[in-house]
Structure 1
Amino acid sequence: MALSEREQQVLRDLEEQLNDEDPSLAETMQHADSTLRRPSPRRIGAGVALLLAGLTVVIVGVAVGNDVVSILLGVLGFAVAVWGVTLMLTRGSGEPRDVGGRGSRRASFMERQSERWDRRRDGQN
């Protein structure tokens, strides 16, 4: 449901009031979308796969029985497992990808709502 002119004006006034009273909070709220991102399922899946591969290499290293080869495989398996855990827990780059050619900067919630409003209004004429 579209907002009336009065409701849009009230929202603009509230945004201006927030910017005047606490600019740091307003800035934080504008950029909260990029800071609260969860790790992607693709990164989690790759991390789990690396973790399992690392543990498998460690088990193979223990099963080999040769002292030098066993130690090298253990260290390699541990490194791969740590890499997998690190990959799972990191969020990657802070910049969102350019999806659908929308531009390099992601629009704020209010900008997207305004664009939707304009498209609806233009479509009704």
Structure 2
Amino acid sequence: MALSEREQQVLRDLEDQLHVEDPSLAHTMDHAETSSGRFSPRHVGAGLALVLVGLALVIGGVAVRHSVASILLGVAGFGLAVRGVTLMLTRVEAPGRRDSSRGDPSGGRSARVSFMDRQSERWERRRDSED
């Protein structure tokens, strides 16, 4: 359910007041809000590939009889696997997201509007233009 204009204005005023009274808490909350992006399928796929290659290198390192080569392959495989996991867990910002608290041309609405909301708005515009 969408907030009314009055409720949106009250929330913006409260946010501005928080920025004035406790800037460190406001910064922490802003950081938490912006870091809550989504997982990218491309990052998950690339990370999974790196993990598999890293595990293959570790297994190859165990199979090799030379101690120096075995250690190097094991370390390289472990490093690739760790990099793959960090890549998989990387969150990306959704396209079109902006700071909705200031300078928002949409009148205070969140920049992340659902697909159905956009379709409803288009339908309303078409219906209004026909009348």
Tell whether the structures are fold-level matches, with TM greater than 0.5: yes
1:20 aligns with: 13
Residue number in structure 2 paired with 1:60: 60
**1:37-76 correspondence runs (5 A):** 37-76=37-76
Task: Name 2:95's counterpart in structure 1.
Answer: 96
Instruction: Report the 3-state secondary structure (helix = DSSP H, G, I; strand = E; otherwise coil) of the residue aligned with 2:38.
Output: coil
> 1:13 and 1:85 mapped to 2: Cα distance?
44
TM-score when normalising by structure 1: 0.62
Overall identity of the aligned pairs, in %: 47
Q: Distance in 2 between matches of 1:113 and 1:16?
A: 25
Q: Post-superposition shift, 1:35?
A: 3.5
Determine the C-alpha separation between the residues in 1 that align with 2:58 and 2:86. 18
Q: Unpaired segments of 5 or more residues in structure 2? A: 20-28, 98-109
Report the counterpart of residue 107 of structure 1 in structure 2.
111
Q: 1:20 to 1:97 in 2, by over 3 A?
A: closer
1:19 deviates by 1.8
- For residue 69 of structure 1, give the secondary structure of its aligned residue in structure 2: helix
Q: How many angstroms does 1:65 deviate by? A: 0.7
1:36-57 Cα offsets, whole Å, 9 max, x none, are 2221122112111111110110
Count the aligned residue pairs: 103
The structure where helix makes up a greater share of residues is 1
Listed as ranges, the gaps of 5+ residues in structure 1 are: 1-7, 99-105
Give the RMSD, CA atoms, in angstroms.
3.6
